[in-house]
Amino acid sequence: MKRVAVTGLGILSPVGNNLESCWSAVLNGESGIGKMTLLNLEKQSVHIGGEVKNFDPAPFFGNEKEARRNQRFVQMSVAAARMAMKDANLELSDELKLETGVSIGVGVGGLAYCEEQIITMHEKDPSRVSPFTIPGFIANMAAGITAMEMGAKGPNICVTTACTSGTHAIGEALMLIQTGRAKVMIAGGAEAAFSQLAFAGFSKMKALCSKFADEPTRASRPFDAQRCGFVMGEGSGVLILEDLEFAKARGARIYAELCGYGMSGDAYHMTSPAPGGKGAVRAMAQALKTGGLNQEDVGYINAHGTSTEANDANETAAIKTLFGSNAHSINVSSTKSMTGHLLGAAGGIEAVFSVMALHTGIIPPTINLENSDPECDLNYTPHKAVERRLKAVISNSFGFGGTNGCIAFKSLN
* Enzyme catalytic residues: 163, 304, 341
> What is residue 192's three-state secondary structure?
coil
Residue among 376, 162, 406 at smallest CA distance from 271 = 162
Q: How far apart are CA 99 and CA 172, in angstroms?
A: 15
Q: Residue 77: what are its φ and ψ, rounded to 5°? A: -60, -45
Q: Which residues have a Cβ under 8 Å from the Cβ of 358 and sit 6 or more positions away?
A: 255, 256, 300, 390, 392, 393, 409, 410, 411
Say if CB 129 and CB 117 are below 8 A apart: yes
Rounded Cα distance, 234 and 194, in Å: 8
Pairing of strands 298-302, 331-333: parallel
CA dist 60 and 78 (Å) reads: 7
Task: Please name the residues in contact with 94: beta carbons below 8 A apart, sequence gap of 6 or more.
Answer: none
Query: Which of 126-154 are b and which e, b meaning 16 or more Cβ less than 10 Å from the residue's Cβ?
Result: eeeeeeebebbbbbbbbbbbbbbbbebbb
Sheet holding 156-159, edge to edge: 156-159, 100-105, 184-191, 235-243, 4-12, 256-265, 403-410, 392-399, 298-302, 331-333
